[in-house]
Amino acid sequence: MNKTKTLALTVGFFFVLAFLAACSAVQQGADILAGTGKISESDRKAIVRTSEAVRSSFADITEEEEYYIGRGVAALILSRYPVYDNQALTDYVNTVGKAVVYSSSRPEIYAGYHFLVLDTEEVNALSAPGGFIFISKGLLRRCRNEEMLAAVLAHEVGHVCARHGLQSIKKSRLIDAFSLIGQEAAKRYGPQQLAQLTTIFEGTLGDIVDTLILRGYDRKFEYEADELSVKFTAATGYTPQGLVDFLRTMVGDSSAVSGKGWFKTHPTSEQRIERVKTQAAALGGSLVEEPARTKRFHQTLAGLK
Amino acid sequence: MKRPIRSTLVVSLFVLVLCLLAAETLIVKVQSTSLRKNPKFYAPALLTLGAGEKIEKISSQEGWIQVRTSKGAVGWIHSSAVQVQKFDLMAMDAKMKTQASASEVALAGKGFNKQVEESYRAKHGEVSFVWVDKMLLIKIPDSRVEEFMRQGKLGEFRGAR
Chain A residues touching B99 at Cβ < 8 A: 54-55, 178-179, 182-183
Q: Which of B9, B10, B86, B112 to mutate to test the interface with A (most CBs of A within 10 A)?
A: B112
Of residues B45 and B14, which shows the higher confidence score?
B45
Chain-chain contact of A68 with B52 (C-beta, under 8 angstroms): no
Of the listed ranges A6-15, A215-224, B110-119, the one predicted with least confidence: A6-15
Residues B28 and B79 in one domain: yes
Tell me which chain A residue has its CA closest to the CA of residue B101.
A54
Of residues B105 and B156, which shows the higher confidence score?
B156
Note the pLDDT of residue B108. 73
A93 touches chain B (CB under 8 A): no
Q: Mean per-residue pLDDT for A44-51?
A: 36
Chain A residues touching B110 at Cβ < 8 A: 33, 181, 184, 187
Residues B36 and B83 in one domain: yes
For chain A, the helix, strand and coil percentages under 3-state DSSP, each to the nearest 5:
65, 5, 30
Residue B32 lies in a domain: yes
Rounded to the nearest angstrom, the minimum Cα separation between A93 and chain B is: 10
Q: Is the pLDDT of residue A92 over 60?
A: yes
Note the pLDDT of residue B89. 47
Of the listed ranges A152-161, A172-181, B3-12, the one predicted with least confidence: B3-12
Confidence at B139, pLDDT banded by 50, 70, 90 = very high
What is the b/e burial string over B63-89, where b = at least 16 CB atoms within 10 angstroms of the residue's CB?
ebbbbebeeeeebbbbbbbbbebbbbe
User: What gap in Å lies between CA B93 and CA A32, rounded to an integer?
Assistant: 11
Chain-chain contact of A237 with B155 (C-beta, under 8 angstroms): yes
Of residues B6 and A285, which shows the higher confidence score?
B6
In total, the C-beta contacts within 8 angstroms joining chain A to chain B are: 267
Q: Is the pLDDT of residue B94 over 50?
A: no
User: What gap in Å lies between CA A7 and CA A12, rounded to an integer?
Assistant: 8
Residues B82 and B124 in one domain: no
Q: Is the pLDDT of residue A283 over 70?
A: yes
Note the pLDDT of residue B160. 62
B residues 39..98 contacting A (CB < 8 A): 41, 50-54, 78, 80-81, 85-92, 94, 97-98
Note the pLDDT of residue A198. 96
Most confident of A25-29, A37-41, A237-241, B34-38: B34-38
User: What gap in Å lies between CA A133 and CA A114, rounded to an integer?
Assistant: 6
Of residues A30 and B99, which shows the higher confidence score?
B99
A32 touches chain B (CB under 8 A): yes
Q: How much is the mean pLDDT over chain B?
A: 85
Chain-chain contact of A197 with B52 (C-beta, under 8 angstroms): no
Chain-chain contact of B114 with A68 (C-beta, under 8 angstroms): yes
CA nearest B5: which of A11, A10, A19, A17?
Answer: A10
Burial status of residue B56 (CB atoms within 10 A of its CB: 0-12, 13-18, 19 or more): middle
CA nearest B31: which of A41, A28, A121?
Answer: A41
Chain-chain contact of A237 with B111 (C-beta, under 8 angstroms): no
Alpha helical stretches, state H, chain B? 2-22, 102-108, 114-123, 130-136, 142-151
Q: Mean per-residue pLDDT for A174-199?
A: 84
Chain-chain contact of B154 with A106 (C-beta, under 8 angstroms): no
SS3 state at A111: coil
Q: Is the pLDDT of residue A281 over 50?
A: yes
Residue B92 lies in a domain: no
Note the pLDDT of residue A49. 37
Of B95, B111, B127, which residue sits at a domain end?
A: B111
Q: Mean per-residue pLDDT for B73-91?
A: 80
Tell me which chain B residue has its CA closest to the CA of residue A2.
B2
Q: Mean per-residue pLDDT for A172-176?
A: 92
Inter-CA distances, B137 with A92, A196, B123, Å: 15, 31, 25
- Model confidence over A220-270: pLDDT tens digits? 999 999 999 999 999 999 998 999 999 999 888 877 777 778 888 888 888
Residues B82 and B117 in one domain: no
Residues B121 and B82 in one domain: no
Q: Mean per-residue pLDDT for A55-70?
A: 93
Exposure on the CB side of residue B32, measured as CA atoms within 13 A: 3
Of the listed ranges A22-26, A58-62, A283-287, B134-138, the one predicted with least confidence: A22-26
Q: Mean per-residue pLDDT for B33-54?
A: 95
Indicate the pTM of the whole model. Answer: 0.83
Note the pLDDT of residue A262. 81
Q: Is the pLDDT of residue B103 over 70?
A: yes
B102 touches chain A (CB under 8 A): yes
Residues B66 and B120 in one domain: no
Q: Is the pLDDT of residue A16 over 90?
A: no
Residues B33 and B76 in one domain: yes
A20 touches chain B (CB under 8 A): yes
Question: Which residue among B41, B102, B127 sits closest to A62, beta carbon to beta carbon?
Answer: B102
Residue B47 lies in a domain: yes
Confidence at A11, pLDDT banded by 50, 70, 90 = low
Q: Could you list the residue range(s) of the whole structural domain that residue B138 is in?
A: 112-161
Q: Which helix (H) or strand (E) holds B81?
A: none
Note the pLDDT of residue A258. 73
Tell me which chain B residue has its CA closest to the CA of residue A182.
B99
The enclosing domain of B44 has a CATH number of 2.30.30.40
Of residues B16 and A264, which shows the higher confidence score?
A264
Chain-chain contact of B107 with A110 (C-beta, under 8 angstroms): no
Note the pLDDT of residue B90. 46
Q: Are A128 and A165 in contact (CB under 8 A)?
A: yes
Confidence at B161, pLDDT banded by 50, 70, 90 = low
Of the listed ranges A251-260, B27-36, B49-58, the one predicted with least confidence: A251-260
User: What gap in Å lies between CA A260 and CA A120, rounded to an integer?
Assistant: 12
Residues B35 and B72 in one domain: yes
Residue B95 lies in a domain: no
Note the pLDDT of residue A224. 97
Most confident of A166-180, A249-263, B97-111: A166-180
Q: How many domains does chain B have?
A: 2
Residue B68 lies in a domain: yes
SS3 state at B82: strand
Rounded to the nearest angstrom, the minimum Cα separation between B66 and chain A is: 16
Rounded to the nearest angstrom, the minimum Cα separation between B59 and chain A is: 19
Residues B158 and B121 in one domain: yes
Note the pLDDT of residue B23. 54
The complex scores an ipTM of: 0.82
Residue A83, strand partner residues? A118
Of residues A300 and A186, which shows the higher confidence score?
A300
Confidence at A53, pLDDT banded by 50, 70, 90 = low
Of residues A40 and A112, which shows the higher confidence score?
A112
Tell me which amino acid residue A269 is: S
